Structure 1
Amino acid sequence: DKRNRIFGRQAREAGVPLFYVNCIGLQNNGKTVYTFDGSSTAYNEKGDVVRTLPEYEEALTVLPLAEMKDMAAEPESEEKDIAHIYRALHYGIRRFLENIHMKKIVIGISGGIDSAVAAALYAKVVGPENLLLVNMPSVFNSATTKGLSQELANNLGCQYMIIPIQESVDHTIKQLEETPMVNLGTGSETHLKVSSFVAENIQARDRSARVLAGAAAAFGGGFTCNANKAETTVGYSTLYGDQSGFLAALADLWKYQVYALAHYMNDAVYGREVVPQGIIDIVPSAELSSAQNVDEGKGDPIKYPYHDYLFRSFVERWQKATPEDVLEWYKAGTVEKNLGCEEGLVKKYFPTAADFISDLERWWNLFTGMAIAKRIQAPPILAVSRRAYGFDHREAQNGAYYTRRYRELKAELLAE
C-alpha cells in the first residue's frame, strides 16, 4: 500500500506513466534473509494502478502506453497483511532450502503455537514425508500439550517421534552435582549445585543439542529454530538450546502475528484445522518447571498482549523508543496509545508505578544486555518487517543505558 501511495503520487505529479519493476529472490547477508516479492506495477499518468504482477513469481506483461490513461484502475486489495507475510515466509523458506540443498526438516514440537506454526509452514514447503516432528517431554510436560503435539502431527500426516528427555536430564544433573570439583592449588573438593533455573536450561539444551541435532543428522536434514520476535528481543531462550537451528523463520514475527498466521493457514492455506484450536487457546508456556503448568494456567513471564507492543517500540519505530520515552508516556497516561496495544492493559498488569518501572527495566536490561549475546549467536532470521534483527538493527554488547531524564522521571513517579 505504501509503495502504491508513493509511486502513484510521483506518476500523478509528473503527469506520465510510471513502472515499478522489482526482482524476485533472496538476499542473504548471513544474519538476515530478505525476500524480494516481484509485484512489478504499472501506474498511469493519473497515478492509478493499472496492472500488478503476481507476488514471488516471474512474469511478463505488455501494456500499450497510448491506452494506459484510459485503463480502469485495479481494485485495491482487501487481503490482510498476514496473507502477504505467509507468502513471504513460504517463498523465503523454499528458496533458502534450495540454496543450501536441504530437503528434509526436523522440528521439535512442544504443543505450543510457535512450533506448530513452524511445522505447518515447513510441511507446505518440503512435503509431510520430508518433515519429522519430535516431541521431547520431561516430567513438566502435561498430557494436554503431549496430546496436542500428536494431534498436530496427525493433521499434517508427517513423520513423528516421541523421545522423553527426563532420564538424560537427570543423568546430567547427577554428574554435575556428584562429580567433585577439585581445587588443584589446595587439594580441597567442593560440589556444584544445580539450581531449578539451571535445570530448565539443561532441558532446553538436551532437546536441541542432543536430540534434535542427532535426529536431524540421522534423518538427513536440519532442525529449525522456532523463536518469535518477542522472545528474540529479550533473549527468552537458551543458548545452544531452543536458540539453535539452521534458520529462524518466525523470528521477525511478534506473537500476535504467529497466532494470526495459524488462523490464516487453517482457513486459507489448508482449508481445514491443521493447527489444533487447543494449541491456539492454550496459555503460552515453556513447560520447564512446575511454575509453568499449563493446566493451571501458568505460562511465560512475557505478557504478549502488552509486551509484543512494548518490545516492538524498542525495535521497529522509526525513532526507536527508549525507557525515557516510555516513562513520559506513562506519566501522560498515553502508553497504550503510543504503543498501539489494547487500552487498559497497563493498569491490568501493573497496579503501581513501581510495578510498571520494574517491568520496564527488567526487559530493557535484557534487551540491551544478554539478549544481544544471544542474537549474535542466533541462526539467520527471515525478514518480513520494517526492521529485522541482524543487518537492519545494528547493535553491540554495550550494556543497558538510562538517561538523566529517565532517572528524574523514575524518582518523580516513585515519590508519587
Structure 2
Amino acid sequence: MAQEKTEQRARRLTEAKELQESGKLDEATAALDGVLSMGPTSEQRETVRELKASIEAHRSARRRLGSWMKMLASTQRSEVRAAQNQLRRDPDTAIPLLLEAVRSSDKPRLVKNTLEMLRRLRRPELAVPAMVGVLSRVEQEASWPDAVRELSQVRESGAGPLLLPLLGTAKSSAQKAAVLTSLAAVPDPPTETLLVLLATLHQDGPELESALRAAFTAMSRHGQDDLVALRGLPSEVDETTVELLAKLPGRLSEVALRKDKEQAGAARAAKKLAVLIGTIEPAPLEGIKVASSVGVYAKSSHSAVLDGKWDAEDPMTGWQHPLDKPGTIILDLGSEKTVTAVRVWNYNGGGQRDRGWKDVDVFVANSRTDLTPEISGTIPRAPGASDQPDFSIVLPVDQVTGRYVILKAKSLWAPSSFAGLAEIQVIGY
C-alpha cells in the first residue's frame, strides 16, 4: 500500500511538471496540492515547493511580458522584431513563456515567430527539443514547415538523436517526411540512421526523396561510403540488413535513371547518394564558359583555361592576368549542376614554372558573389616544359549545387609581371 502511494505521488509530480511546461499553471498547482494531501516524503515536499516557486515566477513573467508575447503573434514584421528585441533583454524570464507558446496548436504564426526567437537566443539545449517537439505533435501540422526551417539553421548538435525515434511514431507520410527533411539538415544524425532508413529507401513513396537526403547526410558525416566493409556502421548488423545494404547500389542506380517529372527530386537525391558510395562516377562537365575574370595580360585569353591543353609551353594555351588585382576567374556551367571536384593545372610557360597561382579558394554557387569557399588548396608548380607527367591537382567538393564555379588566388608562387593558370576542369553531374 505504501509503495502504491509513493508511485502515485511520483506520477502526480510528473504530471504537475508537464502541466507547467505546457503553460497550464492552475492545473499544475492543483496537481501539486494533490501531492501535498497524500502525505509526501520530505524530498517530495521540497520538490513541490520548488515547482510552486517556479510556477509563481512563470505567472509573474506572464504579467510583465504578456503584451510582448501577444505582439509576437503579429502579422507585421516590425512588431514581431520589436517584441523579440524586448524579450531578448530578459531571456531567463521569457524562455518559459516561449516554451509555452511554441506548443500552441491554433496559433501557427505565434509558433513560427517563437521558434525563430528561440533559435536567436542561442540556447540550443532548450530550442532544439522545442523544435523537435513541434514535429512530434500531430495537432501542430501547420507549424511543421517552420520547425523544419529553424532546425536547418541550428548548427549545434542535439537534434539528430531526438529526430530519429520520431520516424517510428510518425502518424502520417507528411509527418515522416518533415522529420526526414530535418534529419537531412542537422549536423548530428545518429550512426544508425542508414539502418533505420533502409526499408524506406527500398520502397517508392512520398518519403523516398527526403529519406535519400537524410541517408546522404548521415553516411557522409560518419564515413559510411563502403557498404561492403560496413565501415562506420554499428557493429551489430543482422543478415537481413546486410542483404538490403548489398542491394542498395542497384536500387540507387535504378532510381537515379528515372526521367518522369514527379520522380525528379528522388532521382537527383539517389544520384547524389550513388556518387557518395562510388556506384556512379562523376565526369568532367561540358559546355562550360568563362563568365568573367580579373583580366588578361598581353594577348592571352581567359577562355584558354577550357581548351583542353595543359602540357604545352605555348602561352596562348594558358590564361595570363595582370597583378594589379587578386586573381579571379568565374566559370558558368550553363545551368545549376552538382560539382564534386575542380581540377586545376598551373600556368606552364616555358621556363616559367613559378608564374602560377599557389593558394586558392574555390566557390560553388548560383550567384557570382559567394563569400564562403567550398574548399581551399595549394596548386602545385607547373614543370615549365611540355610533354611532362600530369601536374594537376584535384580539389574535392562535397557535391555542392550551383551554376557558377569561382576560383580566387590567395597567393602566388613568385609574383612577377603576370600570373595565370593553364587549365581548369569541373567534375560533377
Scaled by the length of structure 2, the TM-score of the pair is 0.25
Task: Work out which structure has the larger RCO, using CA pairs closer than 8 Å and 6 or more positions apart in sequence.
Answer: 1
Greater C-alpha radius of gyration: 2
Question: Between Structure 1 and Structure 2, which shows a larger proportion of strand residues?
Answer: 2
Scaled by the length of structure 1, the TM-score of the pair is 0.26
